[in-house]
Structure 1
Amino acid sequence: MKQQANLIRAGQVIEHEGRRWTVLKQQIITPGKGGAFIQVEMRDLKSGNKTNERWRTADTVERLTTEEKEYTYSYTDGTNLVLMDPETFEEAHIPTELLGDAAPFLQDQMTITVDLVEGEPVALHIPATVVLEIAEADPVVKGQTASSSYKPAVLSNGVKTLVPPFIEAGERIVVRTEDGSYVERAKG
């Protein structure tokens, strides 16, 4: 399906120069002189290579239709994730690199949404937030107020993040899987 280049969004799958690409980032740039253009960072589905492409906003690109299917994460087997179809209980082996930076946030029995193009997996999406325990946190500096600044901490999955001064090691917090940032204390 043809669409204008300025409608490209992250997560979409497009066909360009005979190859399939998944869009990682897009940005509309309006230079001081001349027309606006769209800068797109994308990854080749076959080779995994990344590239940047620019289109004028009026250009059209071929967008491929993706089908979403939910799976339950079972375990990691080498370079593949083993996912189970909750309806048929069949296993699917999908390359771990489709997860990208979200890989450390994967948890047992997590529901993962897989984008498929003609039955082939092109992208994985995990929930926007997860609950993790703080493994290490710097002690509170006397006189530091809760609103002033965040302190470094290490999550139970090894990811470094910044947390408010009142959060201590052993506490469970809600973390954004997109960038590992603190959201709130876990309830319950």
Structure 2
Amino acid sequence: MNATLECLQGDIAHQPEFDAVVNAANAQLRPGGGVAGALHRAAGPALDRACRPLAPIRPGEAVITGAFGLPNRHVIHCLGPVYGVDEPADALLAACYRNALTLAERQGLASVAFPAISTGVFGYPPAEAARVALGAVIATLPDCPHIERVRFVLFDATGAELFRRTLATLQGAP
């Protein structure tokens, strides 16, 4: 794997050096709370209009639109599983990351910034979500030679540290 992986605390709507940001979307791809609300507010109403014909999507699916008012070229929208409802949750969550990277690769994008999909109102336990997310990205990147950089943008310092520790473990760091 030649891509750089990084985990940091930040705002997913302010990642200007990335070709695409990933939206932790709802099935209808509408503005909402959390990541979806932040991205739709920053992108403006054109993002909502672009999303409407693509909805609904199912857990694990990903679709792509322009980024409009965001400082990126694209937004990749993924519907993560609702923990304890959508099963198998780990396979559906991994599919979000895999499908987002595959879409980015098909578009020739070099960089993608992800939030922690499903860890907000969808209730996915953060430690398990970090393991699934990072494992899926590490497993998928060898099939995505155009992608040079992947960033996980976490809402708070605790989440960022959890993802950094999980990444170090998965990459075999001491």
Using structure 1 for the length normalisation, give the TM-score.
0.21
Comparing both structures, which one devotes a greater share of its residues to helix?
Answer: 2
Comparing both structures, which one devotes a greater share of its residues to strand?
Answer: 1
Using structure 2 for the length normalisation, give the TM-score.
0.22
